[in-house]
A and B are shown apart, each in its own frame.
Chain A
Amino acid sequence: MQASDQARNDEWSRLLIRVGRHRDRAAFEQLYFHFSPLIKGFQFSRGGQSSAPEAADELVQEVLFKVWRKAPSFNPDKAAASTWIYTIMRNCRIDALRRHGRQPDTDESLNVEDIWDDSQDDQPLIYLQQSRSESAVADGLQSLPPEQSHVIEKAYMEGKSHSEISEELGLPLGTVKSRVRLALKKLQSTIVR
């Protein structure tokens, strides 16, 4: 990641803290207008019905609503602003998929936040200081061979499981798995270094 990107991520963290502590609307407005096109861009890469513009607008509203409500618990030592917002967005997407019936038989005894909770964040940091490891991840992602970054993007942006990716690319499941593992190994080595 460029130094300027890092500085910008720090800037979004500062804004989030102002929203959390002071319920600062001007800060929230800046976050809204920065992140809503990114969330939509991320969502549009999904393909299929969920990429309808209305669905993307709905997602933006839902994610930013949660950002406002959860901002008091944002801790910049634990996650960069973009990562924190990513996890909120991921949970909203899972929730939307459940409600729209991709996983029709789930019952109501657990909700998304019970399963994708933030309690893991209470664990002590084992790696480097969070913001440094975030920028190492960014560098690492950029230096992955294309066939590896391709499967990583499909997994995150299109929300595909390994077996869905394998079907779609016509690759054996084992190949998809090993590309993912190689990519992660590389990213881990960038961070621990």
Chain B
Amino acid sequence: MIHHHPDNNMLLEYASGSLNWAHSIVVAAHLQLCPKCAADLKLLNGIGGNLLATSAPALASAPEQEKQSFEQLMQRIDSGNQSFDAPEAPEQKAPRTALPRKLAKDPVFASVPPVVEKLLGQNSALRWRRLSKGLKEARLKTGQCQHEVAFHRIAPGNKVAEHDHRGTEITMVLYGSFSDADGIYSRGDFLVREPGETHRPTATQNHECLCLSVVEAPVALTGIMGKLVNPFLSFRPQ
């Protein structure tokens, strides 16, 4: 059961296409696991549909020109893949990218949502970096310069150095669970930490924990350990 969701504001930015790329990836991963947010998204897409249906139609160009544009499109369609032209069963979903073999055997990656699976498939050489005892990080190439996208694995029962953030940090649990002072977070849970909030995540005793995270700006360490270890979600522009 998922208890922590992206808020309506973020879902609306996603539905209207204005949410940045890195945050959209995490929101998509959440939507693929969360029927509640998927239902909310229908409403949000419906708003877009209604605004389109009632938008003031742009004045048409000359009728011949419109007709010509239409003919051009039909030519493009006809010159494309012929198989699209035969009546057929609804388009099959593209085959899911196979996970790299090494990852496929790892239970932590066994049932990630499709968008994460694709990410993993495209970043076959995940380079895990040990940040501290029981904490590993693999950065992905997919962020932008303002965002760092990464996977984090926390060993069972492991505590991460306390840290706060100079920028917004979003974390989604993909496997296992972790807790901090505010609660416990399991698969699918979506957490936003605003700048200034400190926390100290701890993985649950019996399971390893895998998270997908996006951090906006450098993370500051507040604990004494901060001098020795990297934060949970470190940021270092590459």
Which A residues are closer than 8 A to B by beta carbons? 1, 5, 9, 20-23, 25, 29, 32-33, 36-45, 56-57, 60-61, 64-65, 68-70, 72-73, 75, 79-80, 82-87, 89-91, 93-94, 98, 103-107, 109-110, 114-117, 119-121, 123-127, 130, 133-134, 137-138, 141, 152-153, 155-157, 159-162, 164, 177, 180-181, 184, 187-188, 191
Q: Which of A64, A75, A86, A89 has most B Cβ within 10 Å?
A: A86
B217 CB → nearest A CB, Å: 14
Known: A61-B69, A105-B144. A86 touches B48 (CB 8 A): yes
Collect the chain A residues with CB atoms within 8 Å of residue B38's CB. Answer: 120-121, 123
Q: Can you list, as one digit per residue, whether each of B40-63 has a CB less than 8 Å from chain A (1) or not (0)?
A: 011111111111111111111000
Chain A hits for B85, CB < 8 A: 23
Chain A residue at minimal CB-CB distance from B93: A119
Does B128 count as interface, using CB distance less than 8 angstroms? Answer: no
Q: How many residues of B contact A (CB 8 A)?
A: 72
Which of A33, A41, A69, A115 sits near B66, CB closer than 8 Å? A33
Q: Which residues of chain A come closer than 8 Å to B115, judged between CB atoms?
A: 110, 114-115, 117
The complex places the Cα of A157 from the Cα of B50 at a distance, in Å, of 11
- CA A86 to CA B144, docked complex, whole Å: 26
Q: Contact between B43 and A123 (Cβ–Cβ < 8 Å)?
A: no
Q: What are 29 A-B pairs at a CB distance below 8 A?
A: A20-B90, A32-B73, A37-B58, A37-B59, A41-B55, A61-B72, A61-B73, A65-B76, A68-B73, A72-B87, A79-B49, A83-B50, A86-B49, A86-B52, A87-B49, A90-B15, A110-B142, A116-B28, A123-B39, A125-B42, A130-B42, A133-B46, A138-B50, A152-B51, A153-B51, A161-B20, A181-B9, A184-B43, A187-B43
Q: Which chain A residue shows the least CB distance to B70?
A: A32
Q: How far is the CA of A29 from the CA of B115 in the complex (A)?
A: 35
Contact between B35 and A126, CB atoms less than 8 A apart? yes
In the complex, which residues of chain A have a beta carbon less than 8 angstroms from the beta carbon of B58? 37, 40-41, 43-44, 56
A69 to B58, CA, bound (A): 25
A82–B53 contact, CB under 8 A? yes
